[in-house]
């Protein structure tokens, strides 16, 4: 019903309210209040989206817009608050937007470009179909051209980010011995543990950063792991 109200002039909305409410004034008041709030919320939300995309036209040149698109692809998958502050500060002035608005623009542009790459078309009109209806035609055509020109590289980047697992770069091992007391009547026992430090590189992250995982293994767990690795080694040898 609210969708019908949105598409009608204000006078028609008033008569529709009378029709639905009948002689029930309380019901009319409730319908009227809800409808007015809904109308104001809808009208207030539309300009914000339009202004967000219009900010892209404030970038100084096409080359700068291409750089912004590259960064939007680079920071794909990140929450707006996780986009580096240096990047936000750099684009905030060009977009004539606050830092919060800039983060939202980059994040929304990232989603938009990924959707455009997914279409996998060399036709500007076809790519433009995935853009919002409130985006100006000039901006849509420009972004479509940028997508087509950068399609091979962006497609490869998106495939890598979805398919590549973290890579083991380095392993460090130390043995730690500790004395364990079981009780007053029992002699203390020496327990040895193996501390593994695994350094990995995550190719799916924006900066392909390194991170470290620490694992502590008892003698029993270490033997089980070595036994499992030995079986994997034999399987790989048979395949080779």
Q: Per-residue pLDDT tens, the chain, 240 aa: give them.
A: 434 433 444 444 444 444 544 555 554 454 455 455 445 444 443 434 446 788 888 888 999 999 999 999 888 777 888 888 999 999 998 898 899 999 999 988 888 888 888 776 677 888 888 788 888 888 888 998 999 999 888 888 777 666 556 778 888 989 887 766 655 566 667 778 889 898 887 655 544 567 788 988 888 888 898 899 898 888 888 876
Number of Cβ atoms within 10 Å of the Cβ of 55: 17
| Euclidean distance between CA atoms 31 and 182, whole angstroms | 74
């Amino acid at each position: 019903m609210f969708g019908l109200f949105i598409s009608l002039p204000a006078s028609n909305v008033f008569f529709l309210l009378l029709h639905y409410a009948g002689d029930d004034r309380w019901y009319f008041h409730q319908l009227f209040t809800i409808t007015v709030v809904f109308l104001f919320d809808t009208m207030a939300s539309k300009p914000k989206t339009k202004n967000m995309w219009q900010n892209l036209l404030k970038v100084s040149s096409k080359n700068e817009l291409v750089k912004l698109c590259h960064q939007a692809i680079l920071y794909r998958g990140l929450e707006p608050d996780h986009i580096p502050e240096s990047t936000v500060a750099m684009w905030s002035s060009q977009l004539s937007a606050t830092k919060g608005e800039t983060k939202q623009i980059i994040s929304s542009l990232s989603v938009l470009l990924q959707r455009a790459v997914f279409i996998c078309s060399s036709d500007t009109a076809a790519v433009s179909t995935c853009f919002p209806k409130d985006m100006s035609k000039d901006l849509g055509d420009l972004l479509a051209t940028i997508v087509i020109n950068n399609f091979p590289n962006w497609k490869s980047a998106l495939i890598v980010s979805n398919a590549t697992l973290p890579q083991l770069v380095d392993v460090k091992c130390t043995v730690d011995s500790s004395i364990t007391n079981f009780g007053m009547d029992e002699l203390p026992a020496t327990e040895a543990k193996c501390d593994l430090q695994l350094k990995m590189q995550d190719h799916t992250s924006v900066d392909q950063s390194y991170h470290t995982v620490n694992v502590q293994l008892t003698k029993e767990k270490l033997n089980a792991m070595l036994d499992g690795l030995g079986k994997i080694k034999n399987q790989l040898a048979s395949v080779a």
